Amino acid sequence: MMAAAAVTTPAAPVLDVQGLSVAFRTRRGLAQALDDVSLTIGAGATVGLVGESGCGKSTLLKAVVGVLGGNAEITAGAVRFRGLDLVKADAETVRRQRWKGIAMITQSALNALDPVLRVVGIDPSRFSEYPHQFSGGMRQRAIIAMALVLKPDLVLADEPTTSLDMIVQDQIFRRLDELQSQLGFSVLLVTHDLGVVIENCVRVAVMYAGRIVEEGPIAAVVDAPRHPYTLGLKNSLPRLDRSAEPIAIPGVPPDPVAMPKGCRFAERCPFALDICWRESPPLREVAPGHRAACHRSADLHALRRAAEDHRTWASTAAARSADYGGKR
């Protein structure tokens, strides 16, 4: 099921993002979209990037391909693709890497295709065969084919199966897996659905409010999470062994223009201590190959049971404030 073809060797990663920080100039001020993000993907590996909307996953993808808008600024860091730093490279060099080196699979073909090109040159008798007429699964297969046509080394998959049902989703990933074995490309799978990541990735990075909060081998991160947010995400998965309802994490992420000084998750965290509000926890190794950014990561195994109780989440600062998104 998982593309374990190549062992991830830090020595020759296909993609090596180091300390990347990206901010957007907005009317209200500078919005921090990414803060000191580091991520490595080895040859042939499938790495997952999971987080809720607005956490910065799309920004990270855009930063890798270099299509951030005019109001974006890369304030720090490097994005090394096969050793070449795309942040420092000139526009033409970056452009050459696109599609031949790094390709992308998006959510929908409809957005990807030029509307006029769809119309011009089409035999009118084939009117029923416009892209929006194809089934979702067929569209995604077309997108995958399009992405792989130049045999890239890295495929960025942005919510590739979000609008598809489970069966089709499964088919798509199987197909992708086969192709990966044949062609040997790496995949960065970006999604908000932890379940998809569990099924298909060797490693996963969890993102929150522009930062990587936990990162490591899939088994370790899922079975023994070391960050409360990851615990919260797990809760959102439906489970066969209990009849309990999935639990949503109350509250909303912080305002990118006014990021808090301390831990960005503190407001929604049931285990926050004083230090969490004062100091932002750095991303540290908590086990071989497994990193987490939490002051309490060592205690988390003891708190795991509590995290599965919905009452724990009702006690967070966010849940207690009268309206979610409180401190704005």
User: How far, in Å, CA of 155 to CA of 20, rounded?
Assistant: 19
Could you count the other beta carbons within 10 Å of the beta carbon of residue 125? 7
Q: Among 239, 201, 240, which residue's Cα sits nearest to residue 220?
A: 201
Residue carrying structure tokens 């999470």? 225
β-bridge mates for residue 80, sequence order: 16, 85
Which one, 87 or 307, has the nearer CB to another protein?
87
The answer to whether the CB of 307 falls within 8 A of the CB of 231 is yes
Single out the segment in contact with another protein by CB under 8 A; choices: 12-20, 119-127, 161-169, 255-263. Answer: 119-127
Using rule CB under 8 A, residue 116 touches another protein: yes
Q: Contact, 107 vs 139, CB < 8 A?
A: no
**Does an H or E element contain 305, and which?**
helix 300-307
Q: Which of 98, 175, 192, 310 binds another protein (CB under 8 A)?
A: 98
Report the residue from 30, 89, 113, 224 that binds another protein according to the rule CB under 8 A: 113
Task: Give the angle 146-147-150 at the CA atoms, nearest 5°.
Answer: 90
Locate 189 and state its tokens.
Answer: 């799978």
CB nearer another protein, residue 156 or residue 276 = 156
Rule CB under 8 A: choose which of 32, 40, 97, 312 binds another protein. Answer: 97
Distance in Å, CB of 29 to another protein, minimum: 13
- The interface region with another protein, picked from 32-40, 67-75, 180-188, 195-203 by CB under 8 A, is 67-75
Q: Considering the complex, what minimum distance in angstroms separates the CB of residue 17 from another protein? A: 17
Q: Is 134 a residue that touches another protein (CB under 8 A)?
A: no
Give the span between the Cα atoms of 24 and 290, in whole angstroms: 30
Classify residue 213 as exposed, middle or buried by CB count within 10 Å of its CB (0-12, 13-18, 19+). buried
Measured CA to CA, the distance from residue 196 to residue 167 in angstroms comes to 12
User: CB-side exposure of 199: number of CA atoms within 13 Å?
Assistant: 16
**Residue 284's beta-bridge partner residues?**
292
Instruction: DSSP letter for 274, please.
Output: H
Does residue 119 bind another protein (CB under 8 A)?
yes
Give how many residues touch another protein by CB under 8 A: 26
**Residue at 111: amino acid letter:** N
**Residues 10, 70, 238, 288: which binds another protein (CB under 8 A)?**
70
Pick the piece of the chain touching another protein (CB under 8 A) from 48-56, 64-72, 207-215, 314-322.
64-72
- C-alpha distances (whole Å) from 9 to each of 204, 218, 318 are 16, 16, 41
Q: Nearer to another protein by C-beta: 27 or 305?
A: 27
Inter-residue contact 267 to 327 (CB < 8 Å)? yes
Residue from 65, 176, 204, 286 in contact with another protein (CB under 8 A): 65
Closest distance of CB 154 from another protein, Å: 13
Q: Give min distance, CB of 213 to another protein, in A.
A: 27
Is 298 a binding residue for another protein by CB under 8 A? The answer is: no
Chain positions 23 to 52 lying near another protein, rule: CB under 8 A, are: 26-27
CA atoms of 263 and 32, how far apart (whole Å): 15
Taking CB under 8 A as the rule, which mask of x and - marks residues 71-90 in contact with another protein? x-------------------
Binding range to another protein, per CB under 8 A, among 33-41, 62-70, 299-307, 319-327: 62-70
| Nearer to another protein among residue 141 and residue 291 (C-beta) | 141
- Residue whose CB is less far from another protein, 156 or 249: 156
Report the interface residues with another protein, using CB under 8 A.
26-27, 65, 67, 70-71, 95-100, 104, 106, 111-117, 119-120, 122, 124, 127
